[in-house]
Amino acid sequence: MNDYLEKILKGQAINYEAFLKKLPEPFRRQSRALFATKRVSPNRWRVTVLDQQAFEALQQQMVVPLSRAEAASQGDSHRHTTGVSFLLVYHKALSDSRPDVVVNTGQSVAAAFQPAPRVLVVENETNFYHYQRMLAYASDCLGKPLTLSDCDVVFGSGNRITRRADVEWLAGYDEVLCAFDYDAGGLQMFRTVQATLGRKAQYLQPSDWRPWLACFRKSPETTERFTRAVLLAEDLGFGPLAQAFRSTGKFMEQEMILND
């Protein structure tokens, strides 16, 4: 958003439709009173500010808060990520069925166990609870047995695991197996993790998608999201997954693994 605002100030053309989608709702409702536009090329408009006071208020709202408390004072604490992560982990040293907790502040990590050589990151809470089933699935995908003796299991808590401090902590493992949903969101999460971890990161998926095609049951929210999933799969080198998307027209949520 700040890039858009800077280009508007410099008189540079922007994708105005994309800009409107990112505008906070109160400003979007007033967009015709705030801005005048002139189309200069396909998908590019030069934007003129009509209400300077409102534009300055928008700029102020877009200032990145330095802390969670500062974000709350601006009206939305979620504009700043929390400074600490609590990561649930199953590992070989557990004395009972409860997972352990890793506390990651970004500057330090408190963990009461010695990490295994590899880690399985499970996006979904239910799948994490059934970690033994997920280890068995990972074993089938990789063609080699995995157990807690050589593989920790971490709860990804949706896309929270993609926060920089947590990805940097994962970098301490030799191999990071990512059990994410098979959709645009899961692929984007993997791309984010891979950007930091490189070849250490692996998107967990079967070697042959044909037996799993019946598990692709989630309809994409939009055509754009479906198209993005196909393109991401192809860009990441996951041709068979892209073909699975095309042949079914749907996504696969990882809970389907538990039905196998």
pLDDT single digits (tens) 43-53 = 899 999 998 88
β-partners of residue 90 are 153
14 and 140 fall within a common domain = no
Q: What is the pLDDT of residue 111?
A: 93
135 and 64 fall within a common domain = no
- Read off the pLDDT of each residue in 227-231 and give the average, rounded to a whole number: 92
| Distance in angstroms (rounded) separating the CA atoms of residues 15 and 25 | 18
Confidence of residue 110 (pLDDT cuts 50, 70, 90): very high
Question: Residue 177, Cβ neighbours under 10 Å: how many?
Answer: 24
114 and 210 fall within a common domain = yes
Q: Which residue has the higher pLDDT, 53 or 83?
A: 53
24 and 151 fall within a common domain = no
> Which residue, 48, 76, 104, sits at the end of a domain?
76
90 and 174 fall within a common domain = yes
Residues 226/249, Cβ–Cβ less than 8 Å: yes
State how many domains the chain has: 2
Taking the CA atoms of 93, 97, 103 and 104 in sequence, report the sign of the dihedral they define: positive
Q: Which of 2-6, 20-24, 76-80, 114-118 is modeled with the greatest confidence?
A: 114-118
Portion of the chain with pLDDT greater than 90, in percent: 67
pTM over 0.75: no
234 and 123 fall within a common domain = yes
219 and 103 fall within a common domain = yes
Q: Which residue range(s) make up the domain with 67?
A: 2-76
| Distance in angstroms (rounded) separating the CA atoms of residues 32 and 9 | 17
CATH number of the domain enclosing 223? 3.40.1360.10
136 and 221 fall within a common domain = yes
Helices assigned H by DSSP within 75-183? 125-129, 131-142, 164-170
Phi-psi region of 81 (alpha: psi -120 to 50; beta: other; left: phi over 0): beta
pLDDT single digits (tens) 139-155 = 999 999 999 999 999 99
- Read off the pLDDT of each residue in 34-43 and give the average, rounded to a whole number: 91
3-state secondary structure of 225: helix
- Read off the pLDDT of each residue in 118-137 and give the average, rounded to a whole number: 97
pLDDT single digits (tens) 152-170 = 999 999 888 999 899 999 9
Q: Which residue has the higher pLDDT, 84 or 73?
A: 84
44 and 96 fall within a common domain = no
